């Protein structure tokens, strides 16, 4: 089924209103519910899950340093929308099918409020996972201004819960950013990009079985999920009417597996101003931008003098990445359309600043610990692909235990054929470099023999990151300081089909 493109307007999620706000703290309540929503005007409404009756959920906007408390409430029915695979970690028959836990991706937050995958809870908190600690989460928002997002993180079913619609934006604001006079207000728009597949009746499709089914088992875990339809902010191939002026877009890839290489068919530049963790030192003019699952990029697009033009945002990243099929330029090769049809409502006084904020480099001399961590590909007892971090499953004893306030370098040694977006909770890191190495030799002798020079991160990655593409047959080095909290966090691949099936590990920050 191929749906027409650019027939529905881009929805912009509403800003969530707090239940309480005073000079000391802010309190929100966020309900998760099932409802039906139109994802395309030629489709019947689809049953989805969302926060506050919306998919995507409402945008949460806070100030840097604001003390925020959020009660995330599970009001979902007991039956899941998608086939559960009871053979994957944490999703066995002995736990309820519908479980949730919310993680604010990129947040600097105490561990009890981080949304640990085994801190799940059911409707009315009737049943909770072994690591559940509190009903009301506390966020200190110690980050600088940045684009974060919140999403479900329940062990073994994250891919299904996010696919059902459990995701939204969480923006941190700050005067330092306001003073830069970037496009703001109605000229600042978040774009959550996802891929999905629909059944004829308008319902969302998620496979029951991998391509090679396991006899006698309903096993929905698949090595990757690649949808045939692109949605932005919950609409299939939407359009947005814009004025001939500058806009700021906060791009987020919230897809299960799909990577995007975003371009504008007008060939014009986009000016990237921020990475996952906030503003760059200075804007970078780029013609294309790569976004792996969970990566964000804030870009300014200037529509000045383009009155009457239609501009399509395109995608040419193979799926899965990098070895998969090129996207069909007529379908998943397109993302959305901008129509420069609105009259200019006032003179555009916003700017693309020459300099934004300092991004001090973390010094390699300050490192007290180096960790060598492999990304592996093996086979489970049923012959299914099984991706691991450091050759260890989720349940193996904790091995990454950085000390509070210390700096480490992690070597992500990718011996698989896929690019894996590796995400660490709690902290932002910097990418040092990527380097090709001899995989066969590494597999046999466990030594890294480089076969090429160290390549610096791409200009678009030279800021604070919380998710990095670890490319196949490369060693990717990242550097970070652990803090300001101690406690139990996780690191994982953000391909949801990988993280649900063991490509996820706990780590602990110790005193
Ligand atoms: Cu986007 Cu562990 O999360
Ligand atoms: Cu992965």
Q: How far is the CA of 496 from the centre of ligand 1 (A)?
A: 9
Adjacency order of strands within the sheet including 467-470: 467-470, 420-424, 487-493, 504-509
Sort 509 into a burial class: Cβ within 10 Å, 0-12 / 13-18 / 19+.
Answer: buried
Please give the Cα distance from 309 to 305 (Å, whole number). Answer: 9
Q: Are 319 and 325 in contact (CB under 8 A)?
A: yes
Judge if the beta carbon of residue 435 lies within 6 A of ligand 1: no
Judge if the beta carbon of residue 477 lies within 6 A of ligand 1: no
Residue 415 pLDDT: 97
Residue 215 pLDDT: 77
Q: Which ligand 1 atom sits nearest the alpha carbon of residue 294?
A: 1
Please give the Cα distance from 321 to 258 (Å, whole number). Answer: 7
Adjacency order of strands within the sheet including 278-286: 235-236, 229-232, 188-196, 246-253, 296-302, 270-275, 278-286
Q: Are 81 and 204 in contact (CB under 8 A)?
A: yes
Judge if the beta carbon of residue 425 lies within 6 A of ligand 1: yes
Please give the Cα distance from 317 to 315 (Å, whole number). Answer: 6
Strands 430-436 and 270-275: unpaired
Please name the residues in contact with 457: beta carbons below 8 A apart, sequence gap of 6 or more. Answer: 430, 431, 432, 433, 434
Judge if the beta carbon of residue 505 lies within 6 A of ligand 1: no
Closest ligand relative to 161 C-alpha: 1
Please give the Cα distance from 405 to 427 (Å, whole number). Answer: 11
ipTM exceeding 0.90, yes/no: yes
Judge if the beta carbon of residue 294 lies within 6 A of ligand 1: yes
Closest ligand relative to 293 C-alpha: 1
Q: How far is the CA of 493 from the centre of ligand 1 (A)?
A: 8
Q: Which ligand 1 atom sits nearest the alpha carbon of residue 504?
A: 2
Closest ligand relative to 503 C-alpha: 2
Q: How far is the CA of 41 from the centre of ligand 1 (A)?
A: 31
Residue 464 pLDDT: 98
Judge if the beta carbon of residue 388 lies within 6 A of ligand 1: no
Judge if the beta carbon of residue 159 lies within 6 A of ligand 1: no
Residue 259 pLDDT: 98
Write down all domains in the chain, each with its CATH number in brackets: 20-174 (2.60.40.420), 185-339 (2.60.40.420), 364-509 (2.60.40.420)
pTM score, two decimals?
0.98
Please name the residues in contact with 70: beta carbons below 8 A apart, sequence gap of 6 or more. Answer: 27, 28, 29, 30, 60, 102, 136, 137, 139
Q: For residue 226, report the phi and psi dihedrals to the nearest 5 degrees.
A: -120, 110
How does DSSP classify residue 250? E
Residues of the chain below pLDDT 50: none
Q: How far is the CA of 492 from the centre of ligand 2 (A)?
A: 8
Per DSSP, what are the bridge partners of residue 374? Answer: 413
Judge if the beta carbon of residue 103 lies within 6 A of ligand 1: yes
Residue 381 pLDDT: 86
Give the residue, by CA position, lying nearest to ligand 1 atom 1: 105
Q: How far is the CA of 325 from the centre of ligand 1 (A)?
A: 26
Q: How far is the CA of 322 from the centre of ligand 2 (A)?
A: 12
Strands (E), 244-356: 246-253, 260-264, 270-275, 278-286, 289-291, 296-302, 310-315, 334-339
Judge if the beta carbon of residue 153 lies within 6 A of ligand 1: yes
Q: How far is the CA of 280 from the centre of ligand 1 (A)?
A: 22
Q: How far is the CA of 372 from the centre of ligand 2 (A)?
A: 17
Please give the Cα distance from 214 to 125 (Å, whole number). Answer: 34
Q: How many residues does the chain have?
A: 511
Judge if the beta carbon of residue 420 lies within 6 A of ligand 1: no
Give the residue, by CA position, lying nearest to ligand 1 atom 3: 105
Name the residues around ion ligand 2, CB cutoff 5 A. 420, 493, 495, 498
Q: Which ligand 1 atom sits nearest the alpha carbon of residue 115?
A: 2
Judge if the beta carbon of residue 105 lies within 6 A of ligand 1: yes
Q: How far is the CA of 201 from the centre of ligand 2 (A)?
A: 32
Closest ligand relative to 377 C-alpha: 2
Q: What is the tens place of the pLDDT at every residue in 213-243?
A: 887 777 889 999 999 999 999 999 999 999 9
HSE-up of residue 302 (Cα within 13 Å, Cβ side): 16
Judge if the beta carbon of residue 423 lies within 6 A of ligand 1: yes
Q: Are 408 and 367 in contact (CB under 8 A)?
A: yes
Strands 420-424 and 487-493: antiparallel
Phi-psi region of 112 (alpha: psi -120 to 50; beta: other; left: phi over 0): alpha
Q: 146 to each of 66, 220, 275, 280, 282, how far by Cα in Å?
A: 14, 35, 8, 10, 15
Residue 2 pLDDT: 80
Closest residue by Cα to residue 119 from 139, 141, 135, 104: 135
Residue 383 pLDDT: 85
Q: Are 98 and 157 in contact (CB under 8 A)?
A: no
Q: How far is the CA of 13 from the centre of ligand 1 (A)?
A: 21
Q: How far is the CA of 466 from the centre of ligand 1 (A)?
A: 9
Residue 201 pLDDT: 96
């Amino acid at each position: 089924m191929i749906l027409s493109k650019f027939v529905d307007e881009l929805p912009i999620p509403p800003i969530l209103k707090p239940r309480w706000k005073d000079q000391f703290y802010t309190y929100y309540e966020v309900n998760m519910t099932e409802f039906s929503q139109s994802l395309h005007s030629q489709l019947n409404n689809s049953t989805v899950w969302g926060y506050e009756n919306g998919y995507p959920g409402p945008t949460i906007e806070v100030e840097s340093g604001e003390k925020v408390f959020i009660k995330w409430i599970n009001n979902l029915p007991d039956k899941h929308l998608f086939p559960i695979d009871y053979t994957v970690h944490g999703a066995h028959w002995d736990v309820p099918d519908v479980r949730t836990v919310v993680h604010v991706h990129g947040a600097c937050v105490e561990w009890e409020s981080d949304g640990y995958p085994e801190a799940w809870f059911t409707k009315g908190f009737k049943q909770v996972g072994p690591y559940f600690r509190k009903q009301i989460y506390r966020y200190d928002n110690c980050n600088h201004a940045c684009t974060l997002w919140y999403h479900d993180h329940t062990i073994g079913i994250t891919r299904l819960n996010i696919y059902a619609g459990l995701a939204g934006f969480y923006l941190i604001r700050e005067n330092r950013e306001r003073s830069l006079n970037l496009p703001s207000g109605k000229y600042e728009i978040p774009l959550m990009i996802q891929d999905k597949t629909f059944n004829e009746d308008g319902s969302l499709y998620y496979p029951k079985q991998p391509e090679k089914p396991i006899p006698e088992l309903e096993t929905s875990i698949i090595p990757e999920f690649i949808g045939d339809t692109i949605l932005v902010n919950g609409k299939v191939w939407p359009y947005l009417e814009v004025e001939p002026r500058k806009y700021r877009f906060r791009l987020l890839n919230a897809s299960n597996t799909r990577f995007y290489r975003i371009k504008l068919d007008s060939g014009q530049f986009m000016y990237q101003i921020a990475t996952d963790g906030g503003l760059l030192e200075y804007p970078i003019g780029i013609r294309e931008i790569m976004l792996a699952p969970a990566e964000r990029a804030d870009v300014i697009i200037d529509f000045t003098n383009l009155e009457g033009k239609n501009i399509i945002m395109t995608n040419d990243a193979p799926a899965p990445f990098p070895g998969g099929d090129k996207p069909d330029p007529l379908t998943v090769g397109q993302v959305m359309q901008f129509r420069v049809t609105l009259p200019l409502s006032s003179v555009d006084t916003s700017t693309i600043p020459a300099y934004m904020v300092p991004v001090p480099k973390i010094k390699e001399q300050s490192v007290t610990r180096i960790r060598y961590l492999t990304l592996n590909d093996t086979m489970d007892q049923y012959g299914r692909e099984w991706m691991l971090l450091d050759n260890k499953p989720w349940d193996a004893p904790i091995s990454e235990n950085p000390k509070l306030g210390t700096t480490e370098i992690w070597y992500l040694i990718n011996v698989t054929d896929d690019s894996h977006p590796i995400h660490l909770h709690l902290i932002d890191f910097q990418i040092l470099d990527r380097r090709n190495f001899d995989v066969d030799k590494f597999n046999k002798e466990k030594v890294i023999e480089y076969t090429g020079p160290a390549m610096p991160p791409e200009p678009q990655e030279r800021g604070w990151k919380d998710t990095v593409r670890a490319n196949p047959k490369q060693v990717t080095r990242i550097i970070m300081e652990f803090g300001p909290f101690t406690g139990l966090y996780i690191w994982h691949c953000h391909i949801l089909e990988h993280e649900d099936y063991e490509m996820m590990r706990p780590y602990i920050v110790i005193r």
